[in-house]
Amino acid sequence: MQRITGLLLLEVRNSNPNGDPDRESDPRQRADGRGEISPVSFKRKVRDLIEDKDGPAWAELSTRFKPTLLPAEFHILESRGRDRKVLSEEAKDGRFAPKYWDARLFGATFLEKDSSHIRSGVCQFGLGLSIAAIEVTRHTLTNKAGVEAGLDRGMAPLAFRVAQHGLYALPFFVNPSTAHRSQCTQRDVDLLLHALPYAYSNNPAMNRAGISPVHIHVLTHTNALGSFNDFTVLDALTPKRKGESPLATSTNLADYDFPDVEAVLRPFAGKLTHRDLAL
């Protein structure tokens, strides 16, 4: 397994990439106006793709591997209705790591009293942050047929909350140092990489129909301990907002200056290999 530094650049059009429960599900936003995507939110999208073994994503992704991936080895620990007692027993007799893909990849902490072999995972996602500020729009939803008894119509005031436009940069990191503890394999990491382009498009929702990866930069270090500074490369690959105000809201991708990737990576020749997984 090799060390990886990655960067997802996600375009958001009239969608909500991550609702904030503290603000009535408004798109997450920091004080300077920039939007946020939490690591937990993005990993949830990937987990949902892999958990649905009857869906088209698993049918396609699993057959990209030879031999084809076995569903029994790719269960999702962070799923609804999990039974802590059953999980504790699986951890004690060694069935835990071989069964749960997301535990091998992302780690697991809630069973620390019963098992110490999985805590920190191999792959970690950072905070996704929009490059410029976002403008949030709120609309009331109406329903011709009411959902409550005795009502012939319905309304959900200001329930549709979206960012008009944004370009988000979301970093991720694969560190093989913990792979021997979580029993994570290269195959586990490869499945994640194959799933990244479909994280939003195959997790449809009414308020996030317009989210698409522009670039998914995958930078593989030539040294397992790291062969370049993560932040130096990530900063150089992140687009900049055009104009005098770097935080001015945008309306489309033409409002951003995208770097020349080949020129950015030229000084790192021999230290990394680069792939762009965006469709």
Q: Which residues fall within 8 angstroms of residue 77, CB to CB, at 6 or more apart?
A: 87, 100, 102, 103, 108
The residues facing 171 across adjacent strands are 7
The torsion defined by the Cα of 182, 50, 95 and 4, in degrees rounded to 10, comes to -10
The residues facing 147 across adjacent strands are none
- What stretches of 147-260 show up as alpha helix (H) in DSSP? 179-182, 186-195, 230-237
Question: Quick one: DSSP state of residue 197?
Answer: G
Q: What is the pTM of this model?
A: 0.93
DSSP for 86-119 reads HHHHHHHTT-HHHHBHHHHHH---TTTTT--S-S
Residue 259: pLDDT band with limits 50, 70, 90: very high
Nearest of 50, 27, 51, 52 to residue 38 by alpha carbon: 27
Q: How far is 213 from 96, CA to CA, in rounded Å?
A: 33
Instruction: Give pLDDT, residue 165.
Output: 98
Query: 59-101: per-residue pLDDT in tens?
Result: 999 999 999 999 999 999 988 887 878 887 887 777 888 999 9
Nearest of 184, 182, 185 to residue 116 by alpha carbon: 182
Number of C-beta neighbours around residue 177 at 10 A: 13
Query: 49-64: per-residue pLDDT in tens?
Result: 999 999 999 999 999 9
Instruction: Give pLDDT, residue 79.
Output: 87
Query: 101-137: per-residue pLDDT in tens?
Result: 999 999 987 655 555 555 678 999 999 999 999 999 9
Mean pLDDT, the chain, rounded, equals: 92
- Angle between the 186-195 and 39-51 helix axes, to the nearest 10 degrees? 100
Instruction: Give pLDDT, residue 275.
Output: 98
Is residue 269 predicted with pLDDT exceeding 90?
yes
Q: How far is 217 from 234, CA to CA, in rounded Å?
A: 9
Nearest of 172, 250, 269, 162 to residue 217 by alpha carbon: 172
Instruction: Give pLDDT, residue 253.
Output: 98
Tokens 């104009």, located at residue? 243
Angle at CA 43, nearest 5°, toward 61 and 178?
90
Instruction: Give pLDDT, residue 222.
Output: 97
Q: How far is 241 from 253, CA to CA, in rounded Å?
A: 9
Q: How far is 110 from 278, CA to CA, in rounded Å?
A: 34
Q: Which residues fall within 8 angstroms of residue 31, CB to CB, at 6 or more apart?
A: none
Phi and psi (nearest 5°) for 71?
A: -55, -35
Check residues 112 and 1 and name the one with the higher pLDDT: 1
Is residue 140 predicted with pLDDT exceeding 60?
yes
Check residues 203 and 87 and name the one with the higher pLDDT: 203
Q: How far is 275 from 265, CA to CA, in rounded Å?
A: 12
Instruction: Give pLDDT, residue 146.
Output: 56
What does DSSP say about strands 128-133 and 154-174: parallel, antiparallel, or unpaired? antiparallel
Q: Residue 145 carries which side chain, given as an amino acid letter?
A: A
